[in-house]
Amino acid sequence: MNDFGKELQVRQVTKSFVSGGQPIEVLKGVDLTVESGASVSIRGESGSGKTTLLNIIAGLETADSGTVSLNGLRIESLSESKLALVRGKEVGMVFQAYHLIPELDVAENVLLPARIVGLMGRPQRDRALELLKKVGLGDRLHSSPSQLSGGEKQRVALARALMNRPALILADEPTGNLDEKTAKGVIGLIFDICRDENSSLVMVTHNPNFAAKTDRQLLLHNGLLTNIVK
Ligand SMILES: Nc1ncnc2c1ncn2[C@@H]1O[C@H](COP(=O)(O)OP(=O)(O)OP(=O)(O)O)[C@@H](O)[C@H]1O
Ligand SMILES: [Mg+2]
């Protein structure tokens, strides 16, 4: 199959864990294609493997079998250092639990992906400020994450995910801990920025209204992804 022009291709990915001495098969042959600039949402019960799948796509966990290609590049064939570079440049991640670095202030957290790929100049600082303004935190550059509310932390995490203009954004319940109004704001920002920068989006969400905003709605159930017919 020709990978050209496809931002993300997941083929027959399987993953098992051993828990309490028992093997659990979490992913049983997951297929997913997300075209450049397209968006998909993934729903599924707690423990169905959504975070595991996103971690495998990001190369943070390895699949037992199957392949993941980012822009035609098979991530399982890359060395650790090459993978870290590709992840840093091509993938922006928004986690379930923010994962901000407590020792760094807001601006430094947003700049982190640029630092990881070795870019630390004026254009990066300008971009960080622009993003923080976009998420409504332009006046909190030097706050510590511990001084922020949940919604503010998630908006910093979103700005950080977008720092390097990633081709692919992986968002794991990005509004899970937010009130409805703040959640709507964060979701609006994610879609605005994906559209402005032609990023692809894979978003785990339990909110059917947010899922309905994506091009395709998927369900992870019994280790497989299926389309939810609208
Ligand atoms: N490192 C691990 N070791 C053992 N089991 C694991 C590990 N990571 C995940 N699991 C198990 O794999 C299953 C899927 O976990 P995962 O975190 O992917 O679920 P999820 O769909 O994201 O759930 P939630 O909606 O609660 O976030 C769970 O049963 C979990 O206990
Ligand atoms: Mg999860």
The domain locations on the chain are: 37-54+80-227
Q: How confident is the model at residue 5 (pLDDT cuts 50, 70, 90)?
A: low
- Among 50, 55, 172, 224, residue to substitute to test ligand 1 (most atoms within 8 Å of Cβ): 50
Nearest to residue 7, comparing CAs of 187, 166, 204? Answer: 166
User: Which ligand 1 atom lies nearest to the CA of residue 52?
Assistant: 18
Using a 6 Å cutoff on CB, does residue 51 contact ligand 1? yes
Question: What integer pLDDT is reported at residue 2 of this predicted model?
Answer: 47
Ligand nearest to the CA of 45: 1
Q: Which of 33-37, 59-63, 175-179, 225-229 has the lowest mean pLDDT?
A: 175-179
Cα–ligand 1 centroid distance for 17 (angstroms): 9
In the predicted model, what is the mean pLDDT of the chain? Answer: 91
CATH architecture of the region 37-54+80-227: 3-Layer(aba) Sandwich (3.40)
Q: Is 11 exposed, middle or buried (0-12, 13-18, 19+ CB in 10 A)?
A: middle
Rounded to an integer, the average pLDDT of 80-94 is 89
Ligand nearest to the CA of 46: 1
Cα–ligand 2 centroid distance for 45 (angstroms): 9
Using a 6 Å cutoff on CB, does residue 153 contact ligand 1? no
User: Which ligand 1 atom lies nearest to the CA of residue 18?
Assistant: 4
User: From atom 28 of ligand 1, which residue's Cα is the shortest distance away?
Assistant: 47
C-alpha dist (Å) from residue 173 to 20, 47, 177, 187? 27, 13, 8, 10
Question: What integer pLDDT is reported at residue 101 of this predicted model?
Answer: 95
**CA triplet 82, 83, 84: central angle to 5 degrees?**
90
Residue 37 has which token pair?
């600039």
Cα–ligand 2 centroid distance for 46 (angstroms): 7
Rounded to an integer, the average pLDDT of 139-147 is 96
Using a 6 Å cutoff on CB, does residue 43 contact ligand 1? no
Rounded to an integer, the average pLDDT of 136-143 is 95
Cα(34)–Cα(155) distance, integer angstroms = 25
Using a 6 Å cutoff on CB, does residue 26 contact ligand 1? yes
Rounded to an integer, the average pLDDT of 219-223 is 97
Considering the chain, what percentage of its residues have pLDDT values greater than 90? Answer: 71
Cα–ligand 1 centroid distance for 7 (angstroms): 26
